Amino acid sequence: MWLKPEEVLLKNALKLWLMERSNDYFVLQRRRGYREEGGGGLTGLLVGTLDSVLDSTAKVAPFRILHQTPDSQVYLSVACGANREEITKHWEWLEQNIMKTLSVFDSNEDITNFVQGKIRGLIAEEGKHSFAKEDDPEKFREALLKFEKCFGLPEQEKLVTYYSCSYWKGRVPCQGWLYLSTNFLSFYSFLLGSEIKLIISWDAVSKLEKTSNVILTESIHVCSQGENHYFSMFLHINKTYLLMEQLANYAIKRIFDKETFDNDPILDDPLQITKRLPKEETLKEVHECFLWVPFSHFNTHGKMCISENYICFASQDGNLCSVIIPLREVLAIDKTNDSSKSVIISIKGKTAFRFSEVKEFEQLVAKLWLKCGAASTQYHDISTEVPISFESVDPSDDIEVQSLICQRECSKTVNTEALMTVFHPQNLETLNSKMLKEKMKEQSWNILFTECGRGVSMFRTKKTQDLVVRGIPETLRGELWMLFSGAVNDMAANPGYYAEVVEQSLGTCNLATEEIERDLRRSLPEHPAFQSDTGISALRRVLTAYAFRNPKIGYCQAMNILTSVLLLYAKEEEAFWLLVAVCERMLPDYFNRRIIGALVDQAVFEELIRDHLPQLTEHMTDMTFFSSVSLSWFLTLFISVLPIESAVNVVDCFFYDGIKAILQLGLAILDYNLDKLLACKDDAEAVTALNRFFDNVTNKDSPLPSSVQQGSNVSDEKSSHIRVDITDLIRESNEKYGSIRCEDIYSMRCRNRLYVIQTLEETTKQNVLRVVSQDVKLSLHELDELYVIFKRELFFSYYWCLSSPVLKHHDPSLPYLEQYQIDCQQFRVLYHLLSPWAHSANRDSLALWTFRLLDENSDCLINFKEFSSAIDIMYNGSFTEKLKVLFKLHIPPAYTEVKYKDPSKGDELSKEELLYFSQLHVSKPAKEKEAESAKNSPEKGKEKVDIQAYLSQWQEELLKKEENIKDLPRMNQSQFIQFSKTLYNLFHGDPEEESLYQAIAVVTSLLLRMEEVGRKLHNPASSTKGLSGAVCASGGPSEGQTESHLEKDPSSLREEPQWSFAFEQILASLLNEPALVKFFEKPIDLKAKLENAKTSQLSSRTRK
């Protein structure tokens, strides 16, 4: 590698370097201790340690070239090399291109300047293809070189950054360098001859956390595949940990949780307020600035985030003030001429926002004007059809205007009123104490609207949160849920969408709709709204429409309970968009097959319990109790455990604060029942105590009729327990646990997602091994290691070959065996690593035919069960089983004639050739493939599970196991020739090679004679003189005679009548040769093969 010329004092360097070559202008040196017997003694060890600790490039580049000028002790380093070949190449280039030119200069200074300029030019030329964009590119280039040489990863692996740190091996710290790349965490250290090289793939990390103890003040703990690793002594440990966390979560989502990875909002939340925006929004700019709060008469400091269609602001203390401004609402954008650098944004409703101390505010104003023009065009069609009153401050007007046409079209189908309005209209003539309190709440909100504005762009302050904690009034609940959840923005961006989806989903029949129909009558069955067709039909439409919109989720239990409550307080279309906000943005990854989001939040909840309620943690021997109890809390937002009149207050807080409100309330409930839980002797007693507590939670201010209230059904006489008001409970949760920050929850979610997904992966592996172990002779330990290698090879393709069309990303909705499948290229790599027949000259062809044999459904993919069955036969199969596999490899459908495009490469197949041959004769029409797929996997997709399909599939598998050798087709002459060649190739290099060649020649001769005799018995006129004579001369062919004859004179075969062999004939003939039987029955050490595969799997990929 060419280096930026830097001065080197040769006088001191002679202790560390040895001279190898020199001329008038350049010196080639080798690092002391490199390639010397004994490592160069103590000096060599000390030099190696110094290189590792001080980040010298010498450990990686033990050779260097210096530029020298006569009569000077100062030299310039111009190149380094990892090996003699590399440095020799640079030396020769200098001699051929530079040396002759230097003789024309008169002064040493001119020579030095020329050399420096030339070397810098070479570096610049190389830099065109480099991705290093560091502040110090030269240093990063050196680190990149060291990274590549130390770990031998493929060049596609991108180094992100590197840090100096200590790795703790037991109680001994080893100083070295930590390299963070896109797919791996790598560490290298060299101390006094002891080399430590560590490579951990991010997708194998199950725990990543910052820890501290007596020995380590602060360290980063990484747990991978059951092994713990500790790194410490970072200069900026928080920055390092954050980057490691991001890389690990990126890998985990990209590989294991593809659905979430694809659906993740592009707008990563620098502010929690951005969670309320549509997920399609992307963050464009972030500015620090001040926002003038008119009703408080002060400027609050915070950040302004700008996306395509929204401007968001949140103060540094998120509870102090936040605001969302849709660009569709903007009427004017102005800038001030004073020194305040202010931007004034005026919106509909006579409201203006003043942002001051904005950097580059003039450019920002110009950009916002352009964005406003685009936004106004987007909403122009709607705004011109129905006049809008800018004087109005009621946000519901704007939403109604945008969906007016839609509502008119579908008014006959879709409810345009909340169910609570229809079934429980408020009677203003009979005002009791509860109704008066309700009116007072409404008045408090109206005062807030006067101060902070009303609608999408209202100021959200501490006072807003206080009013939410007290409970939102019944008449405002639907409007404010839409506002606080951000569903109002989704609905405004998609006018008419719900009506279209309802129309398209009507009459659809699939697994989701069947489950919906089954659960409709179970959704708040005690409420009058869902005892009538009106409520049931609305619930059916919303759930079916969402299942149609998002088939990945479809329908999940608990969605019906949540949607029922949404329909009580929101119009039908609004309830749909509220459900979208909850499922896709506020509770991501909750409502799917594996409910990963809920499991992650349960793990977060357990972590918070350990932090805030340690006495409870000490008492409970198993923390999984909290997971089992709290699952319904998270999935239904407490609706399933609390009376409806109390649960809606929890939903109020959830739409305002997100999951933070649910976690806080869960802690408050456990805290309130702490003494009872500590007195419980088992889990059942604790569950009973909590259920009794929930039954006694009331909402004394609820204006709902007593017939609807669930809490009122438990009479005070029957219950000796103290009643708890939900408002007091929520207020207490805010006071005690309000210090929990959204940023902390986000960090805990990232940490625990690693553990949750790795736990699910371990469950998948155990299920696969349990199924496969019943059909193979491999031990569970061998299967486990084989599974790790199989899965790792698949992941390597995900790392660097994402564009492969046949690769399927992890799909947890598939059966366990089908979740991970490999294509022919990946199988070839594993075949080379693991097969005892991989030394054969035609190993690529054998790998291809084996893959085609295993790929019974012709989808160009095989699963672990199919893969392990092949390995099992190769290592543990009997002589007959191994021969049967070889026989089937040389007859259709496995066998296909391989024609090499590039004969110079011998029997090696290119990747394109391999994939081409693997797909021959397997292409089928799409409908046929779908039918076959459904047949092979009855539970795949969302269709109804077909029990008959399962039974027939099971029966087919049983019949396959009973396959009789007599059922095998006969092998024709060209296939037999290839079969013979394969046997010759397998015997090559064996200690008994000569006797094996002789044995196979005898068998071949015997088979041909048998065929000739059989032919004469049936047809005396026919004969196989040419072939049998060549084979049988001198009592049997010598080594290679049969093979060479078959290769050189294939035309003679075509002239004679076709002949073929049955498997029984070949088997009987081979059994007569003890050398052949011994070869196939000799034991092979699979354990050593697996160990070698694990160590060389990555390097074999690098070579390719």
Percent residues over pLDDT 70 in the chain: 77
User: Residue 653's pLDDT is what?
Assistant: 95
pLDDT-based confidence at 1032, cuts 50/70/90?
very low
788, 822, 995 from 394: Cα distances, Å: 60, 58, 96
For residues 165 and 219, give the distance between their C-alpha atoms in angstroms, rounded to a whole number: 10
Q: Which amino acid is at 783?
A: L
Q: Cis (ω within 30 of 0) for the bond into 387?
A: no
Bigger pLDDT: 373 vs 762: 762
Q: How far apart are the first and last CA of the chain?
A: 22
Bigger pLDDT: 268 vs 155: 155
For residues 1006 and 1003, give the distance between their C-alpha atoms in angstroms, rounded to a whole number: 5
Mean pLDDT of 772-797: 92
What would you measure as the largest C-alpha separation in the chain, in angstroms? 120
Bigger pLDDT: 761 vs 709: 761
For residues 426 and 436, give the distance between their C-alpha atoms in angstroms, rounded to a whole number: 12
For residues 175 and 188, give the distance between their C-alpha atoms in angstroms, rounded to a whole number: 9
CB 548 within 8 A of CB 504: yes
Chain Cα centroid distance, residue 814: 16
Alpha-carbon dihedral angle through residues 1005, 1006, 1009, 1015, given to the nearest 10 degrees: -120
Q: Which two tokens stand for residue 122?
A: 């070479």
43, 58, 80, 165, 966 from 54: Cα distances, Å: 16, 10, 17, 11, 71
For residues 775 and 315, give the distance between their C-alpha atoms in angstroms, rounded to a whole number: 62
Chain Cα centroid distance, residue 296: 46
Q: Which amino acid is at 263?
A: N
Short-list 419, 373, 624, CA closest to 530: 419
For every residue of 96-114, DSSP letters joined together read: HHTHHHHTT-SSHHHHHHH
Looking at the chain, the number of H-run helices and the number of E-run strands are: 47, 26
User: Residue 319's pLDDT is what?
Assistant: 67
For residues 870 and 874, give the distance between their C-alpha atoms in angstroms, rounded to a whole number: 6
Round the average pLDDT of the chain to a whole number and report it. 80
User: Residue 716's pLDDT is what?
Assistant: 47
Does residue 134 carry a pLDDT above 60? no
For residues 208 and 251, give the distance between their C-alpha atoms in angstroms, rounded to a whole number: 13
Residue 243's H or E segment, with its range, is helix 237-255
For every residue of 989-1011, DSSP letters joined together read: T-TTHHHHHHHHHHHHHHHHHHH
Over residues 432-469, the pLDDT tens digits come to 788 888 899 999 999 999 999 998 899 999 999 999 99
Over residues 747-757, the pLDDT tens digits come to 899 889 899 98
Based on its alpha-carbon atoms, the radius of gyration of the chain, rounded to whole angstroms, reads 37
Short-list 721, 666, 729, CA closest to 699: 729
Over residues 305-334, the pLDDT tens digits come to 998 889 999 988 766 789 999 998 899 998
617, 722, 910, 998 from 693: Cα distances, Å: 20, 9, 69, 86
Bigger pLDDT: 622 vs 489: 489
CB atoms under 10 Å from CB of 821, counted, come to 23
User: Residue 725's pLDDT is what?
Assistant: 93
Mean pLDDT of 339-362: 88
CB atoms under 10 Å from CB of 184, counted, come to 23
Q: Mean pLDDT lowest for which of 578-582, 716-720, 1055-1059? A: 716-720
pLDDT-based confidence at 803, cuts 50/70/90?
low
Please enumerate in sequence order all residues whose Cβ is within 8 A of that of 953, keeping only pairs 6 or more positions apart, or say none: 935, 936, 938
Query: Which own/partner pairs from 434-437 qualify as long-range (CB within 8 Å, at least 24 positions apart)?
Result: 434/701, 434/702, 434/703, 435/703, 437/701, 437/703
Per-residue b or e along 21-53, where b marks 16 or more CB atoms closer than 10 Å to that residue's CB: eeeebbbbbbbbbbeeeeebeeebbbbbbebbb
For residues 877 and 1092, give the distance between their C-alpha atoms in angstroms, rounded to a whole number: 22
For residues 516 and 560, give the distance between their C-alpha atoms in angstroms, rounded to a whole number: 8
For residues 179 and 176, give the distance between their C-alpha atoms in angstroms, rounded to a whole number: 10
Over residues 857-913, the pLDDT tens digits come to 888 899 999 999 999 999 999 999 999 999 999 999 899 888 765 655 567 787 778
Q: Which amino acid is at 229?
A: H
Short-list 313, 357, 226, 332, CA closest to 755: 226
User: Residue 883's pLDDT is what?
Assistant: 94
CB atoms under 10 Å from CB of 1003, counted, come to 22
Over residues 958-1007, the pLDDT tens digits come to 555 555 777 789 999 889 999 999 999 999 888 989 999 999 999 988 88
pLDDT-based confidence at 488, cuts 50/70/90?
very high
User: Residue 1090's pLDDT is what?
Assistant: 93
Short-list 363, 357, 349, 202, CA closest to 290: 357
Q: Which of 403-407, 497-501, 707-711 has the highest mean pLDDT?
A: 497-501
pLDDT-based confidence at 122, cuts 50/70/90?
confident
DSSP H helices, 877-937, are: 879-889, 911-918, 926-936
**Region of residue 110 (phi > 0: left; psi between -120 and 50: alpha; otherwise: beta):** alpha
For residues 149 and 186, give the distance between their C-alpha atoms in angstroms, rounded to a whole number: 12
User: Residue 409's pLDDT is what?
Assistant: 43
pLDDT-based confidence at 579, cuts 50/70/90?
very high
Tell me the β-bridge partners of 222: 208, 229
Does residue 768 carry a pLDDT above 90? yes
User: Residue 228's pLDDT is what?
Assistant: 92
Mean pLDDT of 249-270: 63
Does residue 718 carry a pLDDT above 50? no
User: Residue 317's pLDDT is what?
Assistant: 74
Bigger pLDDT: 301 vs 170: 301
What is the value of pTM for the model shown? Answer: 0.75
Percent residues over pLDDT 90 in the chain: 34
For 232, list phi and psi in degrees, rounded to 5.
-140, -175
| E-only strand ranges, 825-888 | 862-863
